[in-house]
Structure 1
Amino acid sequence: MRAKSPANLMTLESAPEYAREAIREMIISGELSSGQRIDQRELAKKLELTTVPVREALCWLEAEGMVKRIPGRGVFCRAYTVDDIEEILEVRTAMESLAAGRAAERMSMKEKKELMKLAHDLTDVTSNEEFLKKHVAFHRKIVEFADSETMMSIWNFTHLTSQVLVNLAAQIWPVYPHAHIDLAEAIVSGDKERAAKAMGDHILPSYLDRLQELRDKYGDEPILQEQPM
């Protein structure tokens, strides 16, 4: 990652907020890899900041579950086991199923048209990168339409984690286009139960085979960043 200029701090509330966003981006991209110890002085130098806002940013990221502080050893990027991943997916499935039901009851006609457009856009992508961007926008919009700050907070964590996983084991956790039109139609129908079931059927079952592949490869061990051959 190319560090942003401190001039960009003018658009943010504080140096710690800038550091938090920059470090989060580095974790998501894989520049800071799973299980890696974070050198706070080196990181501060790269971001052209002092270590004070970097320390504060890492405290925020620890609360978000993206880094882990080990007394006497330092701060490390979180390493995930297969059980961790499965638990996160179960939480995401439960939360987004609730969000889909709430959205179905609350959406205006304009919002329904917007969601259907996002679903159709997902069928017209030319790269996995484009799909991932539009996929995140689609699922985020459903949670926005559910109108729940708690759900949005949970969604932010689970989707950030999903993006980290793409970099952890790309060969067996691929990003690939898949349809969302049936799911969108269930939500815009206004039927709460139908929408919730459609979302539940959409998320976790699609990951079961990949979870088993991860379990076969890593067992109970943390999944660390794959290095180029």
Structure 2
Amino acid sequence: MSARASLRLRDHAYSNFTAKLLSRDIQPGQIVSQRELVELTGMPLGAIREMIPRLEADGLIKTVPKRGLQILSIDLELVRNAFQLRSIIEGEAVMAFCETATSDDIDRLIRQHQDVRDAATSAVSPDILQKAQQIDWDFHDLIIDAMGNAIISDIHRVNAIKIRLIRNLDTRMLPELVVSVLDEHLVILAALKERDVEGAVRALQTHINSAKRRALGM
């Protein structure tokens, strides 16, 4: 197998693993073997073995001698660390986005958010809920990726996986949260439209702190 094909298989295995993790087919803190990961992900053993060092480097698993591989455990330290990292990275990103995003891009985001918010005020159907969740995730990915820094984007992606694992239901979009979360985004976008850097950072931090409070059960 060529090096390129091997890399594709490893990346595919990583994607399958994280999908299973986020769907809770693999539980935080669970001990698994390489063979079990083969069955869970549907990937060959070679790809699993190549994936493991990347998962360890990302802090998603750790090797437990004589037992196997332990999936990332969720605890208070992880919550605090993950949200602190998010606050630092996204705070820097939104400042840059405020200066570099085009007015058309910002207007498009406002319309996108407003349309889903308006629909959600009547009834939050499964389709609206899914759209709202995707808008939430896509918005944060967008401002990070707009920095054009692959290292930061990679760190953000791994941290986002950890945050989505933390009290999974509490950090996902719930029907009763759709309007308030989109309103928080719209405050950020209003500041971006005015090129108000301080206002955008302040609104973003308010949004992140709301998610952190939900994760902590506050």
Query: TM over 0.5: same fold?
Result: yes
State how far apart, in whole Å, the 1-side matches of 2:194 and 2:54 are: 39
Q: How does 1:146-157 map to 2 (within 5 A)?
A: 146-157=147-158
Match of 1:163 in 2: 164
Between 94-103 and 111-120, report the one with greater CA deviation.
Answer: 111-120
* C-alpha distance 133-166 of structure 1, shift in aligned 2 (>3 A): farther
Match of 2:197 in 1: 192
Opposite residue 32 of structure 1, the aligned amino acid is: I
1:146 to partner: Cα distance? 3.1
Between 40-49 and 129-138, report the one with greater CA deviation.
Answer: 40-49
State how far apart, in whole Å, the 2-side matches of 1:210 and 1:47 are: 28
Match of 1:7 in 2: none
Gaps of 5+ in 1: 1-9, 214-229
Q: Give the counterpart of 1:93 among 68, 87, 90.
A: 87
Opposite residue 149 of structure 2, the aligned amino acid is: S
Percent identity, aligned pairs only, is 19
Opposite residue 107 of structure 1, the aligned amino acid is: A
* C-alpha distance 155-48 of structure 1, shift in aligned 2 (>3 A): closer
Gaps of 5+ in 2: none
Name the SS for the 2:73 alignment partner. coil
* C-alpha distance 142-152 of structure 1, shift in aligned 2 (>3 A): same
Structure richer in helix, relative to its length: 2
* C-alpha distance 25-190 of structure 1, shift in aligned 2 (>3 A): same
- CA-atom RMSD, angstroms? 2.5
State how far apart, in whole Å, the 2-side matches of 1:65 and 1:129 are: 28
How far does the alpha carbon of each residue in 1:80-102 deviate from its partner, in whole angstroms, 9 at most, with x for none?
Answer: 21121122111101211111111
How far does the alpha carbon of each residue in 1:178-208 deviate from its partner, in whole angstroms, 9 at most, with x for none?
Answer: 2221111112322222221221122114432
Tell me, yes or no, if the aligned pair for 2:98 and 2:197 is still in contact at 8 Å: yes
Higher relative contact order (CA 8 A, sep 6+): 1
How far does the alpha carbon of each residue in 1:155-183 deviate from its partner, in whole angstroms, 9 at most, with x for none?
Answer: 2122212222253xx3x556331222111
